[in-house]
Chains A and B, each alone.
Chain A
Amino acid sequence: MSAHATTYVPKSGIAKWFEARLPIIGLVHSSFIAFPIPRNLNYFWTFGAILIVMLASQIVTGVWLAMHYQPSASEAFNSVEHIMRDVNYGWLLRYMHANGASMFFIAVYVHMFRNLYYGSYKAPREVLYILGVIIYLLMMATAFLGYTLPWGQMSFWGATVITNILAAIPIVGDTIQSLLWGGYSVGNPTINRFFSLHYLLPFMIAGVVVLHVWALHVTGQNNPTGIPIKTGKDAVPFTPYATIKDVFAVVVFFVFFAYWIFLQPNYLGHADNYIPANPGVTPAHIVPEWYFLPFYAILRAVPDKLGGVILMFGAVIILAFAPWLDTSRVRSANYRPIYRQFFWVFIACCFLLGWLGAKPPEGGYVLAARVATFYYFAHFLLVMPLVGLFETPKPLPGSILESVTGPGKQVGASGMPAGAAAAPPTKG
């Protein structure tokens, strides 16, 4: 798998025999034990581990739910209520899975914003980054398919709206739509297909995650300074340093996760989805899950249906071009005084789009959505190329070590204060 050698030395006879035939223990050793990580990583770098745990959690709860769920238009809603009422701890499984999707997206958004702030997408991590964009796309597809499965009103009408959107794609749109529907409208064949695909995609995500981690271990991690590891003094080994920090962060994240599961399990969903799907009654407001709202706002901001579809997908696809749109030679926004301001405006723009996505498409909301959509794309197409050309970055520290200990100081074997490594300065 990996071209570089491992530092793993098998000790027992069995380990030597096995390592000579399949060097997988050496691979794990060099990826998760000896792997050097920058010593100045902050807690935003724990979200990769959190995401892997969330993916595993979704797959485990999902497999269990599938043992009780029935993908049919007449029985889906009943089987979900059966899970909620009669399956032992079925309510826990379902609430973990439904809220787990939201937690997954919260974690992925933090991961993505961290990436954009510290310029992790820039060379040499372009492929690593694009694999991440692919994972995000797969996550969105999986989440959409999953939300249709309880076959409540919002499931049904969400599926109807989204499949109608796909029909706007020129030439192949109608074919895609009929393939997804399996008939002339959203119905029993649709829910069967969606269930099948919803079960398939997470394993595809897992596959791309392997590539993502592989690419990460080729290029190494970025860090808050954006400058590479130059000497062994800039780094610490993955184990125990990153492992304990990741485990701690995952447990803290699970406190948050548990709050939603046990105390607000329906807050992030829609009341309408507790009404069984009814093709004859359209809900007053058809709204997607919160994590799609910015894209929904972009879709509705465009008066033309096809134009809306292009911009909505374009808003995700454009992420993949960031490595080439950004002209700055400096990675981290900590050292980019002008870009840093624009970054926060961009974050505000994303939140604004999300809020607008939940509002009815009328009056001032549409106008605001158009301005925000324009700014969203302008951030990538104008701000990223131009600021990089005209901005004078702040001087970079000589090394990661220097950024932690201050310039000119020499550090002994264990002379670094713990707090400095645990919470390195990130806001400059």
Chain B
Amino acid sequence: MTTPKRGIEGMMRTRALVAGLAAAILAATAAYADEGGPTPPREKWTFSGVFGTFDQAQLQRGFQVYREVCSSCHSLHYVRFRNLAEEGGPHFSASQVKALAAEYKVKDGPNDQGEMFERPGRPADKWPSPFPNDQAAAAANGGKAPPDLSLMAKARTFSRGGLWFVIDWLPFVGYTEQGPDYLHALLNGYKDSPPEGFQVPEGGHYNEYYPGHIIAMPKPLSDGQVTYPKGANGQPVVPETVDQYSRDVTAFLMWTAEPHLLARKELGLRAIIFLLVLAGLLYYVKKKIWSDVGGETHGLQPELHKTG
């Protein structure tokens, strides 16, 4: 059906299209670069990719960072103590979680006398919020309530610009960890002295990666702030640095945002393999059936076909 001449024409058309597309990507990328602000660097995460999983020890360390540092201002509204014992997460033991919950006082009630009372926390309780309500949180923090962190890893992103979105969803070559990368970059993005000519208002802090660069949260982490568990040699298993703390707490927040991530990928790979095998079998059934085409099909042929 295809004459050689059309083949060449087609090839030339394809080439022109590819050239046009490349020019568009370049132009768009250039336009993005003009918008200013550095792009958060791309980090390696254990949970990224088709086969990515959470590192349980990292989630436990991340929880420790959250608990010792972040939790004094940031709530974790959608996480309950019992979640910390679940598989696919930090996976603390049930007794550890029970003991942990009991360390906290939880407001309950009203009781039979109609009074609210405090009791020790139970695994079924929500992670207690640092402030009783948003107004109190705002009042204690210079007018802006610190946001809840449960979904933070999914609720933040940045644009890579250009036409990367065309391939970013693909397995192995794609890139969809912008949320965690942004969190990690933000926690490492504090600068003691802003660039020349940049005025930081009272109560603000300069951060390279925060949109607009003025963030209300002061630099939350510093080296050596959290004491990690020691290994066999008496040294911490991972360095006690801001970079490591922020990696660990980001991984933990990825888990709080997507607690069923492991179950999802596991079931997904099985479902996809099953569907691929089924599709393969159906292909041969289809081929067999269509190998016997011919003869007359006497159906109901509408007269309307005579038009056109």
A residues whose Cβ falls under 8 Å from a Cβ of B: 4-7, 30, 34-36, 39, 81, 84-85, 91-92, 95, 122-124, 218-220, 226-233, 235-237, 240-241, 244-245, 247-248, 251-252, 254-255, 258-267, 271-272, 274-275, 284, 329, 331, 355, 411-416, 418, 421-422, 425, 427-428
- List B contacts of A261 (CB < 8 A): 268
- Starting from the known contacts A6-B300, A232-B297, A241-B293, 18 additional A-B residue pairs (CB-CB under 8 Å) come to A36-B297, A36-B298, A124-B305, A218-B304, A220-B304, A227-B308, A233-B296, A235-B297, A236-B297, A244-B285, A248-B282, A252-B279, A258-B272, A263-B265, A267-B169, A271-B154, A427-B1, A427-B2
Interface of B is mostly: loop
The answer on a CB contact under 8 Å between A236 and B279 is: no
B267 within 8 A of A: yes
Closest chain-A Cβ to B176's Cβ sits at a distance in Å of 6
Report the bound CA distance from A418 to B307 in whole Å: 30
Q: Nearest CB to that of B306 among chain A residues?
A: A228
The answer on a CB contact under 8 Å between B78 and A240 is: no
Q: Nearest CB to that of A246 among chain B residues?
A: B286
**What 0/1 readout, one digit per residue, does chain B (161-201) give for beta carbons within 8 Å of chain A?**
00100001101001010010000000000000000000000
Q: Total A-B residue pairs with C-beta atoms closer than 8 Å?
A: 171
Report the bound CA distance from A65 to B301 in whole Å: 44
B157 within 8 A of A: yes
Q: Nearest CB to that of B304 among chain A residues?
A: A124
Within 8 A of A (CB), among B264-287: 264-265, 267-269, 271-272, 275-276, 278-279, 282-283, 285-287
The answer on a CB contact under 8 Å between A414 and B299 is: no
The answer on a CB contact under 8 Å between B289 and A244 is: yes
The answer on a CB contact under 8 Å between B282 and A123 is: no
- List B contacts of A84 (CB < 8 A): 260
- List B contacts of A412 (CB < 8 A): 294
The answer on a CB contact under 8 Å between A422 and B287 is: yes
The answer on a CB contact under 8 Å between A413 and B294 is: yes
The answer on a CB contact under 8 Å between B294 and A271 is: no
- A7-B299 contact in complex given A220-B305, A272-B155, C-beta closer than 8 Å: yes
Report the bound CA distance from A414 to B295 in whole Å: 7
- List A contacts of B150 (CB < 8 A): 81
Of all A-B residue pairs in the complex, the 10 with the closest CB atoms, nearest first, are A262-B268, A232-B296, A36-B299, A228-B305, A274-B155, A271-B157, A418-B291, A235-B297, A124-B304, A248-B282
The answer on a CB contact under 8 Å between B294 and A274 is: no
- List B contacts of A81 (CB < 8 A): 78, 150-151
Report the bound CA distance from A331 to B307 in whole Å: 11
- List B contacts of A414 (CB < 8 A): 291-295
Q: Nearest CB to that of A239 among chain B residues?
A: B289
B50 within 8 A of A: yes
Q: Which of B257, B260, B272, B294 contacts A411 (CB 8 A)?
A: B294
B105 within 8 A of A: no
23 contacts between A and B (CB under 8 A): A7-B299, A36-B298, A124-B305, A219-B302, A220-B301, A220-B305, A227-B308, A228-B305, A228-B306, A228-B308, A229-B301, A231-B296, A235-B299, A251-B279, A255-B279, A259-B268, A263-B50, A263-B265, A266-B176, A267-B168, A267-B169, A274-B154, A416-B293
